[in-house]
Amino acid sequence: VSGYAAPSRLDHALEILATAPATILAGGTDFYPARVGRPLTEQVIDISGIGELRGISVTADVIRIGALTRWSEIRDAPLPRICDGLRLAAAEVGGRQVQNAGTIGGNLGNASPAADGVPPLLTLNAAVEVRSQQGVRVVPLAEFVTGYRRVDLHPGEMITAVLIPRGLDDAYSDFRKLGSRRYLVISIVMVAAVVAVDAGKEVVDARFAIGACSPVAQRLRALEGDLTGRRLAELAAIPHRGHLAVLSPIDDVRATADYRLEAALTLIRRVLAEVAP
| Site for ligand FAD, rule CB under 6 A | 23-31, 33, 67, 92-94, 98, 101-103, 105-107, 109-110, 115-117, 153, 158-159
Alpha helices by DSSP H, 77-229: 84-90, 96-101, 104-110, 118-123, 141-144, 221-227
Nearest Cα to Cα of residue 214 among 104, 123, 89, 114: 114
Q: Residues of 28-61 as b/e, b for ≥16 C-beta within 10 angstroms? A: bbbbeeeeeeeeeeebbbbbbebeebbebebeee
Closer by beta carbon to ligand FAD, 47 or else 193: 47
CB of 28 to ligand FAD, least distance (A): 5
Closer residue to ligand FAD (CB): 182 or 199: 182
Of 109 and 249, CB closest to ligand FAD: 109
Residue nearest to ligand FAD (CB): 106
Q: Which of 45, 13, 9, 41 is nearest to 26 (CA)?
A: 45
Q: What's the min distance (Å) between Cβ of 135 and ligand FAD?
A: 16
Q: Write down the least CB distance from residue 22 to ligand FAD, Å.
A: 9
Closer CB to ligand FAD, 47 or 223, in the complex = 47
Nearer to ligand FAD, 48 or 228 (CB): 48
Question: What gap in Å lies between CA 157 and CA 27, rounded to an integer?
Answer: 18
When the beta carbons of 53 and 197 are compared against ligand FAD, the nearer one is 53
Please, what is the minimum distance in Å from the beta carbon of residue 206 to ligand FAD? 24
Residue 17: CB minimum distance to ligand FAD, A: 9
**What is the closest distance, in whole angstroms, from the C-beta atom of residue 150 to ligand FAD in the complex?**
11
Give the 3-state secondary structure of residue 260.
helix
Return the number of the residue (145 or 195) whose C-beta is nearest ligand FAD: 145
d(CA 272, CA 262): 16
Helix H segments across 71-204? 71-76, 84-90, 96-101, 104-110, 118-123, 141-144
**Per DSSP, what are the bridge partners of residue 130?**
137, 159
Nearest approach in angstroms of CB 84 to ligand FAD is: 17
Distance of alpha carbon 211 from alpha carbon 243, whole angstroms: 15
CA distance 23 to 44: 5
Q: Do the beta carbons of residue 139 and residue 212 sit within 8 Å? A: no
